[in-house]
C-alpha cells in the first residue's frame, strides 16, 4: 500500500514471502525501501553506521570530495524546500481564487482567508523617508506587544482576576488611565480627536474604543459574549488593517466607529434601535475596510488581480472586507455559542412602546446582515442609496419599527460615517484629506510605473488636494448629508456637521484659488488662510 502521509511517495509494506508463509506476525523486518539514498533494508547497527557516515558527509569529512558532495546535497535539499514552498503558495492562491477557502462552516457564505494582502509592487514607494516610517511602525508594534500594561493584562486573565464589578471595563481596565480615559468620557462629542486618542492608546485605538462602546451599550451581557474571544476578534481586525496605508488603516476604522456611535445616538434613531442593531452597526463600522490594499477597485480590475476575478469586478473590496470579517468571526469563535441555522431558532418578537426587541438571530443571519451593511459603503452605489433615502423622506414613509427600515437607516448611517471627514473641524478634516490624497497619489505612481491609465484624482501633477476635496464634497458628501440633515429634523449634531462642511469647502476653494494664482512662485504665502469662524481653535493651513 502507499502511505501518502509520509509525504515522500515510498511503498511501505510487508515482504511478499513473509506475508505468504507466516500466519502470525513473524520477526520484525525492515521493508526494502530507500530514503535519501540510504538503504533501510539493514539491521539496526548497520543503519546507524550509514546514518553517521551521511551526517559526517554533510558536515564535511576528511576528504575534499566528500565535502563537495555534501555541499551539493545540501544545495539540492534547499532547492527542493524552496520549490515545495512555492508549490504550496501557488495552490493556496488558486484555492483562494476559486473561492473555496472557508474558515468555518461550509455553508452558503464562504469566509475569506485573513491577511490575503493583494500582491502589489510597492517598491517604487519606498523612499528613505518612507522606510524610516516602516521601521518606526515596526518599533511601535513591538513596543505595543511587549508593553507592561499588556503583560499585566494577560497575567490577570490567566489568574482569573478579571473584574466583574458593575460598570467595569473588563479587559481594558489597566489601559483606562490618564488622558485616554478622560477622552473616552467624551467619545460621543463630534470634536473627538481620533489621532490623539490613537497616540494615547499606543496604537490600540480601535480595540480600546470598541470594548468601551460594547460596555456602554451592555452588548457583552446581552449577547453573552466571551471577553477573551471578543478581545481576540478585535485584535485580529485591528492587526489586519495595514498601517502603511496613509488613509485606509485602523485609525480610519476607529474614526468611522466613533462617528457611527454619534449617529446611533441621534434621538430620532436611538429611540428605535435594538441591541442587535447597535451590535451590527458598531461591528460593521470597525471592520468595513479591513485588509484594504491601499488601491481602489478599478486598479484591481486593470491589473487583473485575483480578488477582481473572484468577485467578478463587482464590489470587489467591500466583498473582501465582509468575507474577511466573517473569517475572523469564525476563527475567534466570538458567536460560536449562538445557534447557526434559522430552522432551530424560534422567531419571537417583543414590541415595546418605542422599539422592537427581538431575540438573537442565527449566526448565518447576523453574518448576512453584517455583509449588507459593509457592502453599502461601496461608493459606486452612492446614487442608488441616495435616491431611495430621498424618496423615503419625500413620502414620509420611514417606519423605524420595521426591521427592514431600521437596517436601511443603519446602511445610511454607515455611509455617512465613512465619508464624514469633510464634516469634521478643519484641523481634523485637513489631516484626513491629505492622507487620502497621499494614498491616491501612491496608486497614481504605480499606474504610471506600469504604463496604466492614471485613475481620476490619482495624478499628483494634475489633481491637487484642494481640487480633489472640492469635487468630493460637491458631488458625494453634500448630497448625502443634506438628506441626513432632513432626516434628523435637524439635530444639533447635524447643524454642527453642515456648518463645518460649508466652512471647509470654502477654505479649500480659497486654497485652490491661491495655488492657481501663485503657482509660479516657489513658496506661495497661503499659511494665513483658515476657515472663518474657527476662532482660536482653527489651525492655519501650512
- Give the rounded distance of the alpha carbon of 276 from its chain centre: 22
- Within 8 A by CB and 6+ apart from 196, the residues are 183
Of the candidates 153, 182, 231, 248, the residue annotated as catalytic is 248
Report the C-alpha gap between 230 and 154 in whole angstroms. Answer: 14
Distance (Å, rounded) from C-alpha 481 to C-alpha 421?
12
Q: Any known ligand binding at 251?
A: yes
Burial group, residue 357, by CB count within 10 angstroms (0-12, 13-18, 19+):
middle
Could you give the CA distance from residue 390 to residue 397 in angstroms, rounded to a whole number? Answer: 11
Count Cα atoms within 13 angstroms, Cβ side, for 134.
Answer: 12
173 is in an annotated binding site: no
226 is in an annotated binding site: no
Counting Cβ atoms within 10 Å, is residue 119 exposed (0-12), middle (13-18) or buried (19+)? exposed
Grid cell in block for residue 136 = 518606526
Instruction: Let me know: does 288 contact 241? Beta carbons within 8 Å.
Output: no
Q: Is 249 labelled as part of a ligand binding site?
A: yes
Of the candidates 480, 537, 472, 541, the residue with the CA atom closest to the CA atom of residue 190: 537
User: Is 272 known to sit in a ligand binding site?
Assistant: no
The answer to whether 3 is annotated as binding is: no
Q: Which helix (H) or strand (E) is 357 found in, with range?
A: strand 356-358
d(CA 136, CA 55): 44
What cell numbers appear for 367 in the block? 453574518
DSSP state of 119: -
Indicate the angle between helix axes 403-418 and 275-287, nearest 10 degrees.
Answer: 30
Report whether 364 belongs to an annotated binding site: no
Query: Pick from 400, 386, 473, 371: which is nearest to 432 by CA?
Result: 473
| Residue 170 designated active-site | no
How long a stretch of residues is the chain?
A: 542
DSSP for 171-196? GGGGG--HHHHHHHTTTTSTT--HHH
- Coil, strand or helix: which one is 433? helix
Grid coordinates of 83? 520549490
Please spell the DSSP secondary structure of 262-331, one letter per residue: HHHT-HHHHTT--HHHHHHHHHHHHHTTTT--SS-HHHHHHTT-HHHHHTTTSSHHHHHHHHHHHHHHHH
Which cell goes with 39?
538503504
Q: How far apart are CA 316 and CA 219, in angstroms?
A: 31
Phi and psi at residue 105, in whole multiples of 5°? Answer: -70, 135
Query: Is 289 annotated among the ligand-binding residues?
Result: yes
Question: Alpha-carbon distance 93 to 443, whole Å?
Answer: 23
418 annotated binding-site participant: yes
Phi and psi at residue 204, to the nearest 5°? -110, 35
Query: What positions carry a catalytic annotation?
Result: 248
Known binding-site residues for Zn(2+) equal: 252, 288-289, 418
Known binding-site residues for AMP equal: 248-252, 289, 418, 469
Known binding-site residues equal: 248-252, 288-289, 418, 469
Amino acid at each position: 500500500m502507499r502511505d501518502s502521509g509520509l509525504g515522500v511517495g515510498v511503498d511501505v509494506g510487508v515482504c511478499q514471502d513473509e506475508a505468504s508463509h507466516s500466519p502470525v506476525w513473524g520477526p520484525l523486518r525492515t521493508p526494502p525501501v530507500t530514503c535519501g539514498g540510504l538503504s533501510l533494508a539493514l539491521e539496526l547497527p548497520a543503519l546507524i553506521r550509514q546514518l553517521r557516515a551521511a551526517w559526517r558527509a554533510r558536515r564535511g569529512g576528511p576528504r575534499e570530495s566528500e565535502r563537495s558532495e555534501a555541499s551539493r546535497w545540501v544545495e539540492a535539499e534547499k532547492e527542493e524546500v524552496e520549490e515545495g514552498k512555492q508549490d504550496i503558495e501557488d495552490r493556496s492562491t488558486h484555492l483562494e481564487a476559486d473561492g473555496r477557502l472557508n474558515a468555518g462552516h461550509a455553508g452558503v457564505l464562504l469566509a475569506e482567508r485573513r491577511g490575503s494582502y493583494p500582491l502589489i509592487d510597492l517598491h517604487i514607494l519606498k523612499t528613505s523617508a518612507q522606510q524610516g516610517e516602516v521601521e518606526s511602525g515596526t518599533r511601535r508594534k513591538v513596543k505595543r506587544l511587549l508593553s507592561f500594561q499588556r503583560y499585566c493584562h494577560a497575567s490577570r486573565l490567566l489568574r482569573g482576576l478579571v473584574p466583574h464589578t458593575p460598570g467595569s471595563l473588563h479587559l481594558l481596565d489597566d489601559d483606562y488611565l490618564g488622558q485616554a480615559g478622560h477622552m473616552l468620557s467624551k467619545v460621543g462629542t463630534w470634536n473627538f480627536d481620533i489621532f490623539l486618542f490613537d497616540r494615547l492608546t499606543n496604537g490600540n485605538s480601535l480595540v480600546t474604543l470598541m470594548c468601551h462602546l460594547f460596555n456602554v451599550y451592555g452588548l457583552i451581557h446581552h449577547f453573552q459574549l466571551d471577553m477573551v474571544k471578543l478581545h481576540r476578534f478585535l485584535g485580529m481586525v485591528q492587526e489586519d488593517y495595514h498601517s502603511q496605508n496613509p488613509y485606509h488603516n485602523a485609525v480610519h476604522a476607529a474614526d468611522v466607529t466613533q462617528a457611527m456611535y454619534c449617529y446611533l445616538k441621534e434621538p430620532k434613531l436611538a429611540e428605535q434601535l435594538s441591541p442587535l442593531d447597535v451590535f451590527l452597526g458598531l461591528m460593521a463600522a470597525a471592520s468595513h475596510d479591513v485588509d484594504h490594499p491601499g488601491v481602489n477597485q478599478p486598479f484591481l480590475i486593470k491589473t487583473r488581480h485575483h480578488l477582481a476575478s473572484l468577485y467578478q469586478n463587482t464590489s470587489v473590496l467591500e466583498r473582501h472586507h465582509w468575507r474577511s470579517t466573517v473569517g475572523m468571526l469564525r476563527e475567534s469563535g466570538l458567536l460560536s455559542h449562538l445557534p447557526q441555522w434559522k430552522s432551530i431558532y424560534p422567531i419571537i418578537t417583543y414590541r415595546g412602546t418605542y422599539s422592537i426587541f427581538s431575540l438573537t438571530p442565527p449566526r448565518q443571519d447576523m453574518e448576512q446582515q453584517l455583509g449588507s451593511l459593509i457592502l453599502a459603503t461601496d461608493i459606486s452605489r452612492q446614487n442608488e442609496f441616495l435616491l431611495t433615502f430621498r424618496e423615503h423622506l419625500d413620502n414620509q414613509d420611514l417606519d423605524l419599527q420595521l426591521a427592514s427600515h431600521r437596517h436601511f437607516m443603519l446602511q445610511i448611517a454607515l455611509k455617512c460615517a465613512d465619508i464624514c471627514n469633510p464634516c469634521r473641524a478643519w484641523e481634523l478634516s485637513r489631516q484626513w484629506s491629505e492622507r487620502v490624497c497621499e494614498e491616491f497619489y501612491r496608486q497614481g505612481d504605480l499606474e504610471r510605473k506600469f504604463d496604466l491609465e492614471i485613475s481620476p484624482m490619482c495624478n499628483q501633477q494634475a489633481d491637487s488636494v484642494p481640487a480633489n476635496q472640492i469635487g468630493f464634497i460637491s458631488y458625494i458628501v453634500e448630497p448625502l448629508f443634506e438628506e441626513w440633515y432632513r432626516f434628523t429634523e435637524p439635530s444639533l449634531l447635524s447643524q454642527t456637521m453642515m456648518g463645518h462642511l460649508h466652512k471647509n469647502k470654502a477654505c479649500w476653494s480659497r486654497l485652490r484659488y491661491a495655488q492657481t494664482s501663485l503657482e509660479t512662485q516657489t513658496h506661495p504665502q497661503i499659511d494665513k488662510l483658515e476657515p472663518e469662524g474657527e476662532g482660536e481653535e482653527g489651525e492655519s493651513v501650512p
